[in-house]
Amino acid sequence: MPQMLTQGAALMGARGIGTGLSVLALSGCAGSILDPVGPVGADDSQIFIDALLIMLVIVIPTILLAFWVAWRYRASNTKAEYLPYWSYSGRIEAIVWSIPILTIMFIGGVIWIGSYRLDPFKPLPSKTPPLEVQVVALDWKWLFIYPQHGIATVNQLVVPAGVPVHFSITSSSVFNVFFVPRLGSMIYAMPGMVSQLNLQADRPAVLFGQSAHFSGDGFSDMQFQVRSVAPAEFAAWAQTVQSAGPLLDSAAYAGLSRQSHKVTPFTYRAVDPQLFHAIAAQKIAPGPGPEPEPSPHAAREVSGGRR
């Protein structure tokens, strides 16, 4: 009976901690992965909370036990058993090894299940066909191409709420990481390759997107705004973009791919339908990428060569 009461109290305590963390996350972490907008972001947030709870089950008793040992075996406590030649305990060995093994099993199970459910290549279940968006990481800005509408944007991503979005992601120069925290699942943008990602925003919102991989001087400003709008509003926005703005072809892309900082969002009314595939296949020359400053040693070598 006492054991059952102890287990019940532990379970209630874990639930209480989980509820408290959820409330704290939603109230104090607005705009982060703990304030998700879509199904992928919600699953990411749940994995984070589950892993945190599993670790707290170990961390909190360990901290309490450390204080108990310090109090129990203090110098003034003559009742504590003193074993100066003690060297081995099978029970302690079992506890010391079983706790981390069980922790790894639990966290590994959570991560394995989450990795299977959140496979970025896996389409999201929906009766609505996905919106196709082609993403190109430039120095230091983001290009978003909407092949179904023949338009493109720079540093601004607009998507319809409640509609899955299939992203095809590449880079024009160096490695980057495409990440919208509240939608979930950051993924690499790699030159010469195309990554796949499926996300969805459940409701209208204004979100924050960023590069999550250092890529040179302009990395800190390589951010973009994500607007999730009603489907009717998205259709009206696409028509507005189609009515004005420049054309994005190979010549325009050559100018766009030059390194630039803090680029204000703008749009293209039409796009060469083969542009993204040419960038991904590197039929168009890759961007310059960040150039490291020469070391003093290299500078001395160059100076010596000129002499």
Domains in the chain, start-ordered, CATH in brackets? 2-117 (1.10.287.90), 131-280 (2.60.40.420)
For every residue of 240-307, which 3-state class applies, written as one string? HHHCCCCEECHHHHHHHCCCCCCCCCEEECEECCCHHHHHHCCCCCCCCCCCCCCCHHHHHHHHHHHC
Is 50 exceeded by the pLDDT of residue 20? no
The neighbour count for residue 138, using CB atoms within 10 Å, is 26
Q: Residue 125: in which H helix or E strand, if any?
A: none
CA 99 to chain centre: 30
> Which pairs with CB-CB distance under 8 Å and at least 24 residues apart come from 223-227?
223/155, 224/141, 224/142, 224/144, 224/155, 224/156, 224/157, 224/265, 225/155, 225/156, 225/157, 225/265, 226/157, 226/158, 226/159, 226/180, 226/183, 226/201, 227/156, 227/157, 227/158, 227/159
pTM for this model (two decimals) = 0.74
* pLDDT for position 31: 63
pLDDT tens digits, one per residue of 173-184: 888 999 999 998
Q: What CA–CA distance (Å, rounded) separates 272 from 246?
A: 12
Q: What is the CA radius of gyration of the chain?
A: 27
Average pLDDT score over the chain: 82
* pLDDT for position 297: 52
Q: What CA–CA distance (Å, rounded) separates 181 from 96?
A: 37
Q: What CA–CA distance (Å, rounded) separates 98 from 188?
A: 37
Burial (CB count within 10 angstroms: exposed 0-12, middle 13-18, buried 19+), residue 23: exposed
Q: What CA–CA distance (Å, rounded) separates 176 from 151?
A: 23
* pLDDT for position 51: 85
For residue 250, the one-letter residue type is S
Reported confidence tier of residue 291, pLDDT bands at 50, 70, 90 = low
Reported confidence tier of residue 18, pLDDT bands at 50, 70, 90 = very low
- In this prediction, residues 122-132 reach a mean pLDDT of 90
The neighbour count for residue 306, using CB atoms within 10 Å, is 5
CA distances from 165 to 63, 101, 172, 196, 230 (A): 45, 39, 22, 11, 14
pLDDT tens digits, one per residue of 32-70: 778 888 888 888 888 888 888 888 888 898 899 899 989
Is 80 exceeded by the pLDDT of residue 124? yes
Geometric angle at alpha carbon 114, from 228 and 168, rounded to 5°: 45
* pLDDT for position 290: 67
Write out the E strands in the chain: 131-138, 141-146, 151-154, 156-160, 165-171, 176-179, 187-189, 195-199, 205-211, 223-229, 247-248, 266-268, 270-271
Of the ranges 15-24, 123-132, 176-185, which one carries the lowest mean pLDDT score? 15-24
Count CA atoms within 13 Å of residue 114 on its CB side: 21
Q: Enter the DSSP assignment of 36.
A: -
